[in-house]
């Protein structure tokens, strides 16, 4: 009798085998996304294929891979200019699968879903994109549980085989986490000082040197007392500045012209915040009829001056406490602008408000104002821009946004994400850009005068330099830099050396492309000085990652070929960064010197790498170049000394490099250890004495910096010249009693030696 249960048809074809239902193989995607969409043949060139380049849109070219194809896909590698040929190769950009193990040797590059460069959204796995967090979308998934490995035994075995050798010498976390209870501070792996956390020999040298010398404590306390007195005098009250009061803060026309010229020659050659012709019209009207301009124009001018005040060469610098007069002027203008901005409506926002927001972040960064808050403020600006839709291309709004406004929105968005990324790197934190899908297209490589026309423009070729060249070219490597920053500051797993070599290959390809793009540039409209700054910045912002990636391996003392490669790569990149910064400083251009800290990081890494190499006996390359490498440390000291001249502060960084240089020299010649310790502290003491000798009276400084006396506009409507020696009676200060209390009770416990975390790292939390 037949069963009533219907029989189930089972196919014997391997395509529907129950054993292969969960491991179904998909056809590999070989073309870039754009060629695949258009059903065209793709030559798979890196970083963009030939078809996309010929179409004039290399930035939209991306390779989207199935997760299962990522580990096996390889590309021919380019040999580094200073390293032997590498067997590891660069991997196309894609989103690794969630089953990809944590120690895979495949590079983790930001996926197209998170790409900020305006490409179409095409993730390899929609489910992965919906369920994984930011770190997973970057290709980093923690699946150390045994279940994940058992489900894919072949892949798990390959991963363990590829990374077994590197895992034996994985360094500890390179972070700084210090403090107690809730008064703690954290700086991640990309922070310039984080490498000291795992350099105990240098920290011991610094501690012994400080405790054996007493001269530094005296000059520090003298400077602190002057600083506290000045803060009591300049402490602001409740400022609610009118338009007339803002006009009173402006200097004379000649001084303002110098600031504006320097600003457009330096700041606007990289970041693009203002449109020159539009600003110039308002600027001329300001001096002709100041009542006819909006207060926002005055605030923009104040922030322009604040952004470049410390960039002027100082032949006879003057200081107030531990800050230069120039820096104090800039800080005052920043505070006034910040208070004015806080009173503005968040509903009725226009272009000038966004320009002021960007200028505020830049001015704070270059003047080192509230440096512990700058990362959160930059992230807030990025989120404000997102809430206004800057991450979406304005062309989707059609005729509601003029072509001029569309391009200004793109420029501001590109400036915001670039500033936020570099600030995140300096702090040692992941960038907020890592998790933002954006379709905003790249800025046009055009001159400002062309943007005044109502007709739509096409971008000029890369070989022609314009004032937007930096933002235009920098966009091509933005996704890579965001990914590298996230990986370096990733807490969940260390890097594998094979992966580092692949990242290095990606960086070197970008650097080689930069050299080919900038080698034949034309400079009809932009001076060569600005062009050199752009080329230098484009190079340094990529090369800094070579130092950060290789430093943990370069500082290892094991005799291994992989560590030898890292030592050479790390030292070469660090030396090149110092050389480029030094060349800029020699031309009296201090814009990158004051904006960035990568030359300081390079100096520390050179010291740590050379010291680790002293324990080895067979590294001829480094042993024969010790004197040259120590000279690089002295070059960094010279730049930090110039930084102190411009700021009046920055002694901690100077102390680190001074101690590192003398520590290294004492390690080479142990008999000179005592003398080197004395010289390390004496050099810092001389910097304090130099600033103390150039102090100005605080009452005179108040007149120089805060000219808030009543002043009227003359009958012709012209803005009168500024008088620095006018009465200060109307200045709203804190009550006299409070000022006297501040002067009597000096909080020395929070100053320098009272903060051993900054000078000796005594309360550093150990993170293994």
Q: What is the mean pLDDT of residues 462-475?
A: 93
* Per-residue pLDDT, 446: 93
- Report DSSP letters for 569-585, one per residue: HHHHHHHHHHHHHHHHH
* Confidence band, pLDDT 50/70/90 cuts, at residue 178: confident
Predicted confidence (pLDDT) at residue 128 exceeds the cutoff of 70? no
Task: For residue 180, report the phi and psi dihedrals to the nearest 5 degrees.
Answer: -150, 150
- The tokens describing 140, both together, are 């980093």
Answer yes or no: is pLDDT of 161 > 80. no
Tokens describing residue 66? 């199935």
**Percentage of residues of the chain with pLDDT beyond 90:** 46
| 363-388 pLDDT per residue, tens | 999 999 999 999 999 999 999 999 99
Distance CA 426, CA 457 (A): 36
534 contacts: CB under 8 Å, gap ≥ 6: 269, 270, 465, 469, 470
Element (H, E) at 320: strand 319-320
Q: pLDDT band for position 162 (50/70/90)?
A: very low
Which residue matches tokens 């400080």?
Answer: 210
pLDDT digits (tens, 9 = 90+) for 749-763: 434 434 544 555 554
* Burial class (CB within 10 angstroms; exposed 0-12, middle 13-18, buried 19+) of 36: middle
Q: What average pLDDT score do residues 24-45 get?
A: 76
Q: What is the pLDDT of residues 408-429, one digit of tens each?
A: 999 999 999 999 999 999 999 9
pLDDT for 509-525, tens place per residue?
A: 999 999 876 655 554 44
Q: How far apart are CA 474 and CA 401, in angstroms?
A: 25
Q: Are 610 and 644 in contact (CB under 8 A)?
A: no
Query: Does the pLDDT value for residue 656 go beyond 90?
Result: yes
Mean residue pLDDT across the chain: 77
pLDDT tens column, 641-651: 999 999 999 99
**117 has a pLDDT exceeding 50:** no
Pairing of strands 176-180, 183-187: antiparallel
Residues 359 and 416: their CA atoms lie apart, in Å, by 10
pTM of the model: 0.75
Percent pLDDT > 70 in the chain is 70
Q: Which tens digit of pLDDT belongs to each residue from 579-626?
A: 999 999 999 999 999 999 999 999 999 999 999 888 776 666 666 778
Q: Count the alpha carbons within 13 Å of 677 in the hemisphere toward its beta carbon.
A: 17
pLDDT of residue 572 exceeding 80, the answer is: yes
The distance in angstroms from the start CA to the end CA of the chain is 72
Residues 6+ apart with CB under 8 A from 584: 532, 533, 536, 590, 591, 592, 593
- Give whichever of 75-84, 167-176, 227-236 has the largest mean pLDDT: 227-236
> DSSP assignment of 493-506, as one string?
-PPPHHHHHHHHHH
∠ Cα 704 710 713 (to 5°)? 105
Tell me, what's the pLDDT at 41? 85
CA 518 to chain centre: 22
pLDDT of res. 403: 92
Q: Which of 229-238, 612-621, 720-729 has the lowest mean pLDDT?
A: 720-729
Does residue 672 register a pLDDT over 90?
no
Asked whether the predicted pLDDT for residue 347 surpasses 70, the reply is: yes
Q: Which residues contact 202 (CB under 8 A, 6 or more apart)?
A: 196, 607, 608, 611, 659, 660, 663
Residues listed for the chain: 768
């Amino acid at each position: 009798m037949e069963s009533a249960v219907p029989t189930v048809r089972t196919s014997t074809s391997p395509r529907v085998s129950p054993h292969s239902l969960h491991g179904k193989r998909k056809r590999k995607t070989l073309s870039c996304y754009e060629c695949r969409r258009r059903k065209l043949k793709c030559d798979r060139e890196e970083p963009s294929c030939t078809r996309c380049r010929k179409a004039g849109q290399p930035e939209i070219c991306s390779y989207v891979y199935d997760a299962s194809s990522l580990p096996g896909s390889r590309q021919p590698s380019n040999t580094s200019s200073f390293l032997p040929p590498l067997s590891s190769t660069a991997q196309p950009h894609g989103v690794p699968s969630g089953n990809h193990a944590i120690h895979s040797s495949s590079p983790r590059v930001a996926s197209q879903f998170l790409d900020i460069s305006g490409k179409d959204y095409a993730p390899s796995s929609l489910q992965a994109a919906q369920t994984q967090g930011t770190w997973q979308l970057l290709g980093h998934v923690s699946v150390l549980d045994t279940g994940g490995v058992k489900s894919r035994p072949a892949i798990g075995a390959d991963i363990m085989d590829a990374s077994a050798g590197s895992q034996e010498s994985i360094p500890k976390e390179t972070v700084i986490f210090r403090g107690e209870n809730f008064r703690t501070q954290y700086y991640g792996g990309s922070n310039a000082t984080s490498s000291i956390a795992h350099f105990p020999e240098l920290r011991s040298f610094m501690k012994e040197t400080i405790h054996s010398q007493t001269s530094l404590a005296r000059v520090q306390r003298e400077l602190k007392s002057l600083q506290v007195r000045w803060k009591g005098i300049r402490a602001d009250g409740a400022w609610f500045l009118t338009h007339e009061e803002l006009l009173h803060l402006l200097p004379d026309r000649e001084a303002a012209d110098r600031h504006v010229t320097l600003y457009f020659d330096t700041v606007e050659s990289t970041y693009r915040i203002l449109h020159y012709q539009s600003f110039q019209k308002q600027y001329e009207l300001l001096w002709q009829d100041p009542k006819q301009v909006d207060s926002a124009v005055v605030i923009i001018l104040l922030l322009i001056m604040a952004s470049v005040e410390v960039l002027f060469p100082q032949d006879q610098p003057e200081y107030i406490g531990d800050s230069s007069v120039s820096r104090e002027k800039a800080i005052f203008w920043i505070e006034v602008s910040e208070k004015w901005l806080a009173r503005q409506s968040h509903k009725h926002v226009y272009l000038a408000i966004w320009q002021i927001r960007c200028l505020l972040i830049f001015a704070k960064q270059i003047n080192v104002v509230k440096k512990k808050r700058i990362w959160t403020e930059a992230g807030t600006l990025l989120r404000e821009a997102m809430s206004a839709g800057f991450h979406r291309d304005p062309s989707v709004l059609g005729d509601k946004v003029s072509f001029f406004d569309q391009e200004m929105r793109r420029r501001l968005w590109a400036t915001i994400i670039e500033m936020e990324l570099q600030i995140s790197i300096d702090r040692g934190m992941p960038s907020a850009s890592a998790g933002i899908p954006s379709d905003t297209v790249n800025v046009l490589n055009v001159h400002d005068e062309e943007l005044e026309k109502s007709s739509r423009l096409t971008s000029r070729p890369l070989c022609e330099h314009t004032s937007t060249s930096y933002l235009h070219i920098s966009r091509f490597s933005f996704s890579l830099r965001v990914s590298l920053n996230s990986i370096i500051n990733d807490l969940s797993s260390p890097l594998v050396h094979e992966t580092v070599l692949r990242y290095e290959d990606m960086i070197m390809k970008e650097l080689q492309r930069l050299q080919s793009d900038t080698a034949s540039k034309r400079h009809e409209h932009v001076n060569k000085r600005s062009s050199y700054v752009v080329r230098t910045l484009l190079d340094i912002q990529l090369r800094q990652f070579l130092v950060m990636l290789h430093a943990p391996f370069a500082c290892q003392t094991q005799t291994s070929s992989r560590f030898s490669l890292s030592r050479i790569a790390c030292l070469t990149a660090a030396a090149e960064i110092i050389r480029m910064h030094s060349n800029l400083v020699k031309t009296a251009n201090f814009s990158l010197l004051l904006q960035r800290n990568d030359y300081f990081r390079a100096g520390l890494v050179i010291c740590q790498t050379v010291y680790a190499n002293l324990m080895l006996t067979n590294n001829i390359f480094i042993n024969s170049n010790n004197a040259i490498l120590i000279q690089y440390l002295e070059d960094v000291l010279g730049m930090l000394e110039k930084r102190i001249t411009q700021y009046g502060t920055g002694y901690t960084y100077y102390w680190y490099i001074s101690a590192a240089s003398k520590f290294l020299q004492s390690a080479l010649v142990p008999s000179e250890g005592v003398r080197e310790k004395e010289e390390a502290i004496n050099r810092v003491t001389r910097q304090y004495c130099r600033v103390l000798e150039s102090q100005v009276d605080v009452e005179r400084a108040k007149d120089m910096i805060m000219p808030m006396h009543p002043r009227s506009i003359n009958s012709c409507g012209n803005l009168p010249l500024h008088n620095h020696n006018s009465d200060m009676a109307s200045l709203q200060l804190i009550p006299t009693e409070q000022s006297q209390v501040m002067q009597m009770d000096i909080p020395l416990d929070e100053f320098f030696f009272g903060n051993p975390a900054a000078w000796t790292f005594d309360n550093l939390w150990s993170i293994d």
